[in-house]
């Protein structure tokens, strides 16, 4: 009797190891292996890998990181994405990511005005922005453009500056198709 119990426990342990290596619950597969014996092992061998939980485990372990440009997983030490070819080095990320603590505004509306003037609308974050400030437009495509703040509007009034939490329109000289929702403006030359 003890031999049979030992064999069923062993089947449960083997099923748990196989199931957890495929990204599934080790406890659930232990129960299946213990209750079903060798059939539990066969079932664990036949189950598909859970790619989502395996990816999460690798991310938590620090073995991989997500490319900020194409969202594919690459090795943590990678300096270039093998899928999209983007530069993943720390210096490239520092240039492409908007700085914290300075003026930032995530664009939620882009309005084309007359000529090559465009109004970029969003909530001001972290610090003040003034007319004449040079700004960096961090596009979702991964590149950064330099623009100048020519006018600031809050509501229908034209103002000289916008403070954090203001919903502001920043008017610049770029084509409306250049910017899109989700792009971020940040200050190049802080005061």
Cβ-count burial of 154 within 10 angstroms (0-12 exposed, 13-18 middle, 19+ buried)?
A: middle
Cα end-to-end span (Å), the chain: 82
Q: Give how far Cα 83 sits from Cα of 23, 40, 58, 87, 189, Å.
A: 24, 38, 18, 11, 34
φ/ψ of residue 30, rounded to 5: -65, -45
Residue with tokens 């939620």: 108
Query: Structural domain tally of the chain?
Result: 3
The verdict on 160 and 137 lying in the same domain is: yes
Instruction: State pLDDT tens for residues 150-178.
Output: 999 998 889 998 888 889 999 998 887 88
180 Cα distance to chain centroid: 17
The verdict on 42 and 108 lying in the same domain is: no
The verdict on 87 and 119 lying in the same domain is: no
Q: Write out the residue range of the structural domain in which residue 13 sits.
A: 1-51
The verdict on 47 and 21 lying in the same domain is: yes
CA distance 177 to 174: 8
The pTM of the full predicted model, rounded to 2 decimals, is 0.47
Q: What is the CATH number of the domain that holds 113?
A: 2.40.30.10
The verdict on 117 and 167 lying in the same domain is: yes
Given pLDDT bands bounded at 50, 70 and 90, which one contains residue 191?
very low
The verdict on 114 and 145 lying in the same domain is: yes
Least confident of 20-29, 78-87, 94-103: 94-103
**CA trace torsion 18, 19, 25, 26 (10° rounding):** -20
Q: Name which of 178, 14, 55, 16 is nearest 111 in CA terms.
A: 178
Residue 57 covered by a domain:
no
Residue 90 has pLDDT above 80, yes or no: no
Strand ordering across the sheet containing 134-138: 144-148, 134-138, 184-187, 104-112, 117-125, 167-173, 151-154, 157-159
CA distance 191 to 185: 16
Given pLDDT bands bounded at 50, 70 and 90, which one contains residue 115?
confident
**CA trace torsion 57, 58, 62, 64 (10° rounding):** -150
Q: Element (H or E) spanning 181, and its range? A: none
């Amino acid at each position: 009797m003890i031999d049979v119990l030992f064999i069923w426990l062993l089947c449960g342990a083997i099923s748990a190891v196989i199931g957890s290596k495929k990204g599934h619950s080790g406890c659930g597969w232990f129960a299946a292996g213990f209750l079903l014996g060798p059939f539990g092992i066969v079932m664990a061998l036949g189950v598909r890998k859970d790619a989502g939980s395996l990816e999460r485990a690798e991310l938590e372990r620090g073995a991989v990181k997500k490319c900020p440009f194409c969202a594919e997983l690459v090795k943590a030490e990678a300096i270039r994405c093998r899928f999209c070819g983007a530069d993943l080095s720390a210096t490239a990320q520092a240039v492409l990511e908007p700085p914290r603590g300075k003026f930032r505004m995530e664009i939620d509306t882009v309005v084309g005005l007359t000529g090559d003037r465009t109004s970029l609308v969003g909530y001001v974050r972290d610090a003040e922005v003034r007319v004449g400030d040079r700004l960096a437009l961090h596009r979702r495509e991964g590149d950064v453009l330099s623009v100048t703040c020519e006018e600031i509007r809050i509501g229908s009034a034209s103002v000289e500056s916008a403070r954090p939490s203001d919903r502001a329109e920043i008017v610049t000289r770029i084509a409306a198709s250049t910017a899109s929702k989700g792009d971020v403006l940040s200050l190049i030359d802080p005061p």
